[in-house]
Amino acid sequence: MSATDLTRLSAADLAGKIHSREISAVEVAQAHLDRIAAVDDTVHAFLHVAGEAALASAAMVDERLAAGTAPASPLAGVPLALKDVFTTVDMPTTAGSKILEGWRPPYDATVTARLRAAGITILGKTNMDEFAMGSSTEYSAYGPTRNPWDTNRVPGGSGGGSAAALAAFEAPLAIGTDTGGSIRQPAAFTGTVGVKPTYGGVSRYGLIACASSLDQGGPCARTVLDAALLHEVIGGWDDRDSTSIDKPVPSVVDAARIGAAGDLSGLRVGVVRELGGEGYQPGVRSSYEDALRQLEKLGAELVEVSCPHFEYGLAAYYLILPSEVSSNLARFDAMRYGLRVDVGASAEEVMAATREAGFGPEAKRRIILGTYALSSGYYDAYYGQAQKVRTLISRDFAAAFEQVDVLVSPTTPTTAFPIGDKVDDPLAMYLNDLATIPTNLAGTAALSVPSGLADGLPVGLQVMAPALGEAVMYRVGAAYEAARNAEDGGPVISRVPEVSA
């Protein structure tokens, strides 16, 4: 099997071939490292490639299999791209910021540790908007990532590096984080699958915080089954994360396999009245309407539901998030780790000079907004009111899930936009998260699955589920994916153009 063929296989197929010893994990790792070397100068999905460590990890899997020992997990030996917001003892962790340039953490994040324990080959760290603040990966201090579908366009953000690595066939699996859509929106823009688990379903220990009440790590893949397999590796309780849920991981792999059989009879699917209408690109609306018809063909009952407070989600989010950013980013003070601009003056002057040099414009914007929203005399009027809206959105979800099993909407209002198109217009950039933000505010689960092309660019269908309701979400996503692939003659990702160097 050629190296090109290896990079096109799903994670599940690669694992099967590795575990049967039809191919070696080292061969698979090398094929993906070669692919990164061939295309990443153009795509710029990676900030750090750990070639030697990846090959050593893969060799350990091969040695274990040769000795007749069972693989450490169903994904042992499969390569993965890790968003550069999770700490790694053997690689730099920058969160896309100059203020952490070259920083090597003294500990692994829980997600990192679970990947290693599962025998997954970590290829390196992926590019991202600085501290996960952005919707295009243009706010990275290390330059933008480009969308493999059209390298003049963005891959989404903040996890554009992870999604682009999948779409460019540099990795079959990736890890992202989702604070307001940073897994799902890049998935929609790149024709890949992205999952935002229930808040607390995946440990945040070692995840550099953006907004602690919103951040959630999750799986990124090219198929729903691959995402489910990765979800079961990284999910579950962690006593080092006080917000971790002490309950078993939902049986998402079984659900994805059941869903792929294509029968959604008995399921009620809620069509959110407030999402998918005015302001959505015509091609996105058309794709969404096609997806609804497909779900009906699979046996689902469509029910229109109203979530009236969703329209206030964007405003509430952009008060809550900056407020938490203002608090979380205060730790980058030049005194303990990271960048230090030593101006030879007082500690306060060193701090100010370091933060001025180390933070980019979007990070500074959100720190200022958050500090203002939390200031004396404004806290109740801004942050306090935003939290009340958050409660109303949670109640909207609760009322909706009394009527239906899942909710659906377009993942994004538009397809991927040109690089530079919105970078100087923060409000236009923020509107990309219109459909994804409510789930983060409520702490519930959602995934984005490819739903075809609009004007030659990928579109995503968002499936939302109650807290810890991931099983039904994966079932619906897998059923829709299978039906769509059968109708289109193959997955959306099979039509991504070859990246030119």
Q: Quote the strand ranges of 36-132, DSSP E.
A: 46-49, 79-83, 121-126
In a domain, 117, yes or no: yes
Structure tokens at 1: 């099997």
What pLDDT was estimated at residue 287? 97
Per-residue pLDDT of the chain (501 residues; tens, 9 = 90+): 787 899 999 999 999 999 999 999 999 999 999 999 999 999 999 999 999 999 999 999 999 999 999 999 999 999 999 999 999 999 999 999 999 999 999 999 999 999 999 999 999 999 999 999 999 999 999 999 999 999 999 999 999 999 999 999 999 999 999 999 999 999 999 999 999 999 999 999 999 999 999 999 999 999 999 999 999 999 999 999 999 999 999 999 999 999 999 999 999 999 999 998 888 999 999 999 999 999 999 999 999 999 999 999 999 999 999 999 999 999 999 888 889 998 877 988 998 999 999 999 999 999 999 999 999 888 989 999 999 999 999 999 999 999 999 999 999 999 999 999 999 888 889 989 999 999 999 999 999 999 999 999 999 999 999 999 999 999 999 999 999 999 999 999 999 999 976
- Provide the number of structural domains found in the chain: 1
Q: What's residue 13's pLDDT?
A: 98
Which is nearest to 50 in space by CA: 171, 136, 151? Answer: 171
Q: What pLDDT shows up at residue 313? A: 97
Look at residue 2 in the predicted model and tell me its pLDDT: 84
The predicted pLDDT at position 370 comes to 96
Residue span of the structural domain in which 447 resides: 3-310+390-495
Answer yes or no: is 366 within a domain.
no
Within a domain: 288: yes
Backbone angles phi, psi at 329, to 5 degrees: -85, 0
At 464 the three-state DSSP class reads strand
Identify whether 329 is part of a domain.
no
Phi, psi of 276 (to 5 degrees): 110, 5
Q: Is residue 460 part of a domain?
A: yes
C-alpha 88/C-alpha 92 separation (Å) is 7
* SS3 of residue 69 by DSSP: coil
Round to whole Å and give the CA distance between 471 and 468: 8
Q: How many CB atoms lie within 10 A of CB 421?
A: 16
**What residues pair up with 194 in beta bridges, in sequence order?**
220, 448
Q: CA-CA distance, 39 to 46, in Å (whole number)?
A: 11
- d(CA 204, CA 424) in angstroms, rounded, equals 31
Strand partners, 303: 270
DSSP secondary structure code for residue 217 in this structure = E
Q: What confidence score (pLDDT) does residue 277 get? A: 81
Other beta carbons within 10 angstroms of residue 224's beta carbon come to 30
H or E element in which residue 270 lies: strand 268-272
Beta strands 121-126 and 46-49 are: antiparallel
Q: Which of 470, 404, 471, 469 is nearest to 268 (CA)?
A: 404
Write out the E strands in 40-137: 46-49, 79-83, 121-126
State pTM to two decimals.
0.97
216 in a domain, yes or no?
yes
Chain mean position to CA 397: 22
Residue 427: its pLDDT value, please?
84
Nearest to 407 by CA among 276, 317, 297: 276
pLDDT value of residue 501? 63
> Would you tell me how many other CB atoms lie within 10 Å of the CB of residue 348?
9
Print burial letters for 67-106: b (CB count within 10 Å at least 16), e (below 16): eeeebbbbbbbbbbbbbbbbbbeebbbbbbbbbbeebebe
Residue 131 falls within a domain, yes or no? Answer: yes
CA distance 223 to 37: 24
CATH code for the domain in which residue 101 is found: 3.90.1300.10
Tell me the catalytic residues.
83, 158, 182
Instruction: Please report whether residue 490 resides in a domain.
Output: yes
